[in-house]
Chains A and B, each alone.
Chain A
Amino acid sequence: MSWPALRITLRLRLPSTLSAAVGLVAVMAAVGALFPSVGHTIGTLKIPRGVSNLLGGADYGTITGWFRGEIASVYGPLVIGGLAIAGAAATTAGEEEDRILALTLAYPVRRGRLIASRAAAVAGVVLGIAVATWVGMIVGVALGGGGITLVHITAFALQLALFGLATGGLGVALGAGTGRRALAAGVAAGVAIGGWLIYGFAPLVAGLHWLKYASFFYYYAGHDPLTRGVDVGGALVLAASAAVLTALGMFAIGRRDLRG
């Protein structure tokens, strides 16, 4: 780990992370405030099961279902996954394409350690967003009249953070391994969105339901942390995925030519 590289990357990512965090808290507060007047009216949507799965059960009649459908199923993972992937692609392949990496690697820092620093900075961004999600949900639930315990909110924030770390790890592996920002961001985003769709639809197709195990989304939301708390197995899979993917990126960049 290179501490100067970690500090500068965090510094450069701070403005976008802060604005996303503030926006997230504001959105979640607004979502919570809307629940008393809107949630009961909607109730449980009668929609196809696959779509219902994608929306966390589409049960808007309870505060838990409301936040599961509005935040946990789409908005939360979209924000944290998007920032993690964008950050990972920008700080690895992006700096390489911008030719900044050529100068950095003329300094006495190992390529693998530099990538570890970038990954740590992405993890910092993810943790910041997870904390904002945690704060936002506490505020939102309070404004919505309560009904979700702090333990379950914390479990959700934790699973969400691990989902962000895993998708960020994928971005780091692809960015460091290829040096191509668009490819890294595109493929990582494709895998994340594909995983969300697989999570929703694979269980409906006989013979394909096992595919859900290939989705980060399953390990993040499959256990329903807002109702059942932390899924230790899922958390371990996500954490291990993040670690392995980061290690792959560290390994891959050491064995190829720098581009540009």
Chain B
Amino acid sequence: MAESSLQATGTAPAGSAPPVIATEALSKDYGSGRGLFELTLEVRRGEVFGFLGPNGAGKSTTLRLLLDLIRPTAGAARVLGLDTVADSLKIRRRIGFLPGDLALYPKLTGRTLLDYLAALRGGVKASVRDSLVERFEADVDRPVRELSTGNRQKLGLVQAFMHEPELLILDEPIAGLDPLVQQSFHALLAEVSAEGRTVLLSSHTLSEVERVTHRLAILRRGRLVVVDSLENLRRVAVQRLEIEFAEPLSGDVFRSIPAVTEVTGADRTLTVSFEGSADAVVKAAAAYQVLAIRPHEDDLEEIFLRYYREIS
């Protein structure tokens, strides 16, 4: 597979605006190969940046390091230009956080909980909070223990957004949300990004990352595998063409082409997978009567799985 321009290092091009998040060989070693290792990454202002990987890949560890909930064993990170350890308090004033596996005080109502969290922050605009409650149709009148997972998650989203932070760090934000609320949440992300605010979104839900992020990083076993835009990842990924011929044709016609990696199908319809230019494939097909050519774009899941297979 061809390498993307930023593979395994997420730094922005020289001369661009200072990154909102910058990590330099950031590591948290829990022993036995667990943790996060030498993560170098930059997230730019206004981006919705996806953090993708299966459970145990190091996503939550990274977010916890950025919030100074845990301390790095090596390397360093800066958020909004500030050191995550020395300036943690200043950073936390300017960010909103939604933890994965959100836990809230079960006896408090949503309203009391949001009042408490707003006071902890030194006050928030009631109008912003109320509009978020309305937008997500959050139930703020019942105790948290009586709420479903999705309704608790709504409260989590409201508290993360209610002070209009410059940076949002969201760990598995759509967990438990119904499709309509997911849609509302994704619309909010787009608005936030349009306002120049930044979102770091961790997820193992590929469709979510695919739908909302500008760039994404894939982590595996605590190491950065790739970071790039979805478009670039698709560009360098293996492409596929489904070709329908007028007469049955053997796949061997294409297997001899060096760029072709796989030919599937039978009879009159073949699917040809190849790297790089489609020129040789199209020219080989043109020697026969072609009824239709249908390009198949890899979805994120295929790209993701391919990266995982590649380094396994």
Contacts and interface: CB of A to CB of B under 8 A. Distances in A.
B119 to A, nearest CB: 4
Interface in A213-260: 257-258
Interface stretch (B66-74, B129-137, B301-309): B66-74
A257 B69 contact: yes
Contacts, number: 61
Contact of B121 (A8, A108, A110, A258): A108
Contacts of B69: 102, 105-106, 257-258
A7 B117 CA distance: 12
Contacts of A4: 116, 119-120
Interface stretch (B93-101, B188-196, B235-243, B284-292): B93-101
A44 interface: no
Interface centre among A98, A105, A106 (most CB of B within 10 A): A106
A99 B120 contact: no
Contact of A106 (B92, B103, B105): B92
Interface string B76-111: 000000000000010011010101011111011000
A106 B99 contact: yes
A12 B95 contact: no
Nearest to B91: A108
A104 interface: yes
Nearest to B116: A8
Contact of B117 (A3, A107, A257, A258): A107
A108 B122 contact: yes
A258 B69 CA distance: 6
A12 B106 CA distance: 10
A260 to B, nearest CB: 9
A102 B99 contact: yes
A107 B121 contact: yes
Contacts of B186: none
Given A100-B105, A106-B92, A2 B99 contact: no
B214 interface: no
A106 B101 CA distance: 15
A99 B103 contact: yes
Given A103-B97, A106-B92, A109-B120, A8 B105 contact: yes
Contacts of A102: 64, 69, 99, 103
Contacts of B67: 105-106
Question: Interface size bucket, A side?
Answer: 20 to 34
Nearest to A102: B99
A103 B108 CA distance: 15
A247 B107 CA distance: 29
A127 interface: no
A47 to B, nearest CB: 45
A107 B99 contact: no
Nearest to B113: A8
A5 interface: yes
Contact of B92 (A8, A12, A100, A107): A107
Nearest to B65: A257
B122 A100 contact: no
Given A108-B93, A108-B122, A257-B70, A103 B116 contact: no
A99 B99 contact: yes
A12 B107 contact: yes
A238 to B, nearest CB: 31
B70 A258 contact: yes
Interface string A2-28: 111101100010000000000000000
A5 B115 CA distance: 11
12 contacts: A2-B120, A5-B120, A12-B105, A103-B97, A103-B102, A104-B120, A106-B67, A107-B117, A108-B89, A108-B122, A258-B64, A258-B70
Given A5-B120, A106-B67, A258-B69, 13 more contacts: A8-B108, A12-B108, A103-B97, A103-B99, A103-B102, A104-B120, A105-B67, A105-B92, A108-B89, A108-B92, A108-B121, A257-B70, A258-B64
Counting from the closest, the 6 A-B pairs by CB-CB distance are A106-B97, A4-B119, A257-B70, A99-B103, A108-B93, A258-B69
